Each structure stands twice: as structure tokens, then as C-alpha cells.
Amino acid sequence: MKKIVITSLIVMMVAGTTFAAPEGIPDAERLYKFNIIGVENEKSMDQGSGKVIFVDLNGKSKINLVCSDDEEVLALYPDLEEGSFDILDKNATNDDGAILALPDPDLDPYIVGEKGDADVWSAYSLYIRPLGKPGGWATITTCADLLDSTFAGLLPGKLVSVLNREGDLGGFCSIEQVGKEITERPKGKSVFTNVTAELLTIVFQVTVDLDGDGIADETVCVRVPIFDDIIENEYWEYDNHGLKLLQVWIYDNETDVSEGDGELEGC
């Protein structure tokens, strides 16, 4: 009898450890997860199986984003389910980059500080944590081509210039990014961080002419969600500095992407 009780306690302890939720994740259903792995040598396989994306261990890699709600994307990838998460090309070590399919986050663009009735709550949320040996880090920045210089009529005047840096891999890159403070593997336990705003939106910083004289009168910031008609060719610029493993978990919970607007420099 004593052996049975002891065995039961051990099983309960192991079960509790096994199913304990990692620190930093929400109390919600996990929809998808994948790993971003830094490698020294270029990979040759592009297939999307395995829920993994390979990036250069050092330097910049491109992770293209496509919308799994888009009819053209679904026609191009017949096996892709509408509204799903999937890795269509896991190799970001070549010039073409990897391809990650995501549903529309159902967000509205808005001027930072003047969100009004814009929908700022995402349909799902992204969380990341670095794993492996301590050391190594990366920055992740969302980038895209700008299609609509009026930002869907949101600007208070005519666009004069875009102040965002141009991405080495194309388009303009957000002034907001996932930084070293989040991705550097610390000693001890690694925790998850919510990076929904950084990875599902782009913050543009632009100057506008308010009186029609062609001279910039004001600087404004506009947060634009991925897959919005204002932009196209969205991707993550993954700038790696020796980080070998980053976990990405996606959850069925909402995130207010405007929460960090007050920390945006120059907005």
C-alpha cells in the first residue's frame, strides 16, 4: 500500500511538472507553434514540413508573410486551409526567403495617439522566447512596400516623406521592432513575451504638408496591420546575432496593439 501511495505521488508530481504552463503565455488555446533555428550553412530544402524556419545564424534573413484568407494565396497553395497558420517554405537562408501563412489579424490602421474607433484588438496573439545556451540574440522587424501614400485618407495633409528606413530586403521597415532585450537568451529560465504589435503591424513615421506649400509641417505616425490594402509584400526581417533557437507560439486571445504607442520615439 505504501509503495502505491508513493508511486501515485510521483506520478502526480511529474504530471504537474509536465503540464505546467511556461511563464508569459496566456490562459487561452494555442493555435500554432514553430521554431526559428539559426544555422551556419545555407539550407537547400524549401518544403514547409516540420514547423520550423531556418535562418542565417549571423546576418539578415527574410520571412515572407502571406494571408491564408486571401483567395489568390489559396489558389497558389492548394493544400493551404483558409484561415490557417502554416509554413509554406521553411528556408530563409536563400535569397527568396521563407514563407509563413497567417490569417488576417482583423486590425484597422490608425494614427498613433488618435485611434478613435479603430479596431486595435488582434484576432490572435504571438509570443516568443529564446531557448538553448545563453548568448546570441536577434532583432525582428516587420517590413512592407507602401502602396497608398494617403494611408487610406488618415493623414491630415499630403505626404511629404517617409522617415522609416528602407529594408535591405525591400520596402520600408517599422520603427518598432522586437529587440535584443526580448530575444537574448538569459541565464536561467527563459520566459515568453507578447510581440503581437511588433510582428503583426508596421508603424510608419511620415511628414505631411498641411497647407499645400510642399513643405513638411508635421510628423505623424501611422500603425498599419499586415495584409491591409495600404501595404503589400509584408515580411519579417530577422537580423540574427548568433541566436540558435527562438520559439514562436500563437494563441487564440486578443492583444491591444496600441498599448505601447506611448513608447514610440518621435510619435
Task: Look at residue 15 and tell me if it is in a domain.
Answer: no
Residue 8, in any domain of the structure: no
In a domain, 17, yes or no: no
Q: How confident is the model over 173-195, as a mean pLDDT?
A: 94
Region of residue 240 (phi > 0: left; psi between -120 and 50: alpha; otherwise: beta): beta
Q: Tell me the three state secondary structure of residue 211.
A: coil
Residue 138 inside a domain? The answer is yes
Average pLDDT, the chain: 91
Determine, yes or no, domain membership for 115.
Answer: yes
Range with the poorest average pLDDT among 13-27, 54-68, 69-83, 125-139: 13-27
* Of 131, 237, 250, residue with least CA distance to 184: 131
Say what the pLDDT of residue 46 is.
Answer: 60
Count of domains forming the chain: 1
Whether residue 104 lies inside any domain: the answer is yes
- Tell me the mean pLDDT in the region 143-151: 98
- pLDDT by residue (tens digit) across 48-88? 567 999 999 999 999 999 999 999 999 999 999 999 999 99
**CB hemisphere CA count around 108 (13 angstroms):** 13
pLDDT band of residue 7 (cuts 50, 70, 90) is very low
**Residues 123, 148: contact at Cβ < 8 Å?**
no
pLDDT level of residue 21 (50, 70, 90 thresholds): confident
DSSP string, 46-77: ---TTSEEEEESEEEEEEEEEETT-HHHHHHS
User: Confidence band (pLDDT; 50, 70, 90) for 20?
Assistant: low
CA distances from 62 to 21, 54, 255 (A): 31, 10, 25
Q: How confident is the model at residue 185 (pLDDT cuts 50, 70, 90)?
A: confident
* Residue 10, in any domain of the structure: no
- This prediction has a pTM of 0.90
Average pLDDT of span 92-112: 97
Enumerate residues 6+ apart whose C-beta is below 8 A from 52. 34, 35, 36, 37, 87, 90
Structural domain boundaries enclosing 201 = 27-251
Alpha helices in the chain (DSSP H): 2-18, 71-76, 180-183, 196-200
The per-residue pLDDT for 24 is: 87
> What percentage of the chain has pLDDT greater than the value 70?
90
Give the confidence band of 3 by pLDDT, cuts at 50, 70, 90.
very low
Specify the pLDDT at position 19: 53
Q: Is residue 228 part of a domain?
A: yes
